[in-house]
Amino acid sequence: MQDDNILILNGDDVLSVLTGREVEIMNTVQRAYEAHARGDSSLPHSSFLRFPRESTNRIIALPAFLGDEFQIAGMKWIASFPANRDAGLDRASAVLVLNSMLTGRPLALIEGSIISAKRTAASAALAARHLHNWQGASRLGLIGCGLINLEVARFTLADWPQTRSLLLFDTERDRACQFKVKAEKLFPEVEIAIAGDVDSVLKNCPLLSIATTAIEPHISDLSSCAPGTTILHISLRDLTPEVILSCDNVVDDVDHVCRAQTSVHLAELMAGNRDFIRCTLADVLLGSAARPVALAKAIFSPFGLGILDIAVGKLVCDLAKSEGRGTVIDSFLPASWTSRQESAAVLEERSCAANSGVRLAS
């Protein structure tokens, strides 16, 4: 592909190349975390675009560079509009742009919501693999019955097929029922039940994932959780700061997660320091920090790093090229301004129109 061309990958392209590649995506996410921990990345803070009188809606820009084996830069632009669900639309929509590290030019424009969901789930499953004591753990609890937790279930089951049951809870029971029907088709060998309340999930699941649209903490007591419980706190704003301060905390990036009114950020404001954060997941992956002790209640709070999107995005591009998928737009970028040949006819027509006061369509 020429440097002035751009590869366009739509949602069907992305889904096609990533289907069945859960372990490969997890390995990609792990290598991205490790490269970031070694300092071979650039990761500015995400920018949140919010709207007056619309507290639940937002669009987030996540720029990133990832070195090491990846050598790619880019940005995810992701919108979260929860009311979309009432119209039969997905809550999140996104595009991902990848840029060349040789010229800075855009190489690909990719549908980003599938990548975003799968990299989030891969991160959660990776944390479960390295933080949780799986001995005797055969049930996964899911609080929040949307796409993210469906992907968490998919990745967890791919990585730990000994999981025998899922216990679901959602404040909207219809969504839990819809999730159950979908999950039963995807995971026919797994028993799936719907809990009547959050506490039932906390009490009965040694590993659980929280992925909701909550904007304020609503879980204030983990006393019903058994010792050794691992909580994948994907949506970041569900647990009160008191709960965070009472547990063993592992995050993806300390500076990133301590902002934007996350539960970890609120805990920092309450404690006046970040000492309650024991380590990052990459510290555990690289062996510089230990796994949680056997009886600890551990919480993994991932802010969601742009390096993961561009790492998985590069994987998508490589797979799509090898399979001949996507659409290449030739000469997407203009010729250098020094060599552009302006059309004399168009310039003359516009000049005449300007002099006569006639407005031409662009």
Q: What is the model's pLDDT at position 274?
A: 98
- CATH architecture of the domain formed by 6-115+307-329: 2-Layer Sandwich (3.30)
Cα–Cα distance measured from residue 199 to residue 225, given in angstroms and rounded to the nearest whole number: 9
* Tokens 């039940």 sit on residue: 193
Whether the predicted pLDDT of 1 surpasses 50: no
Q: What is the pLDDT of residues 187-214, one digit of tens each?
A: 999 999 999 999 999 999 999 999 999 9
What would the mean pLDDT of 133-145 be, rounded to a whole number? 89
Hey, where are the domains in the chain? 6-115+307-329, 131-304
Dihedrals phi, psi of 71, to nearest 5 degrees: 50, 60
Strand order in the sheet with 207-210: 191-194, 165-169, 139-143, 207-210, 230-233, 298-301, 248-251, 277-280
CA-to-CA dists, residue 180 to 137, 278, 279, 316, angstroms: 21, 35, 35, 29
Token output for 290: 């230990």
Whether the predicted pLDDT of 177 surpasses 80: yes
Q: Which fold would CATH assign to domain 131-304?
A: Rossmann fold (3.40.50)
* Tokens 């366009």 sit on residue: 8
**305, amino acid identity:** L
What would the mean pLDDT of 150-170 be, rounded to a whole number? 96
Strand partners, 76: 62, 96
Q: Which residues contact 200 (CB under 8 A, 6 or more apart)?
A: 167, 169
Whether the predicted pLDDT of 317 surpasses 80: yes
What would the mean pLDDT of 226-230 be, rounded to a whole number? 96
Whether the predicted pLDDT of 326 surpasses 50: yes
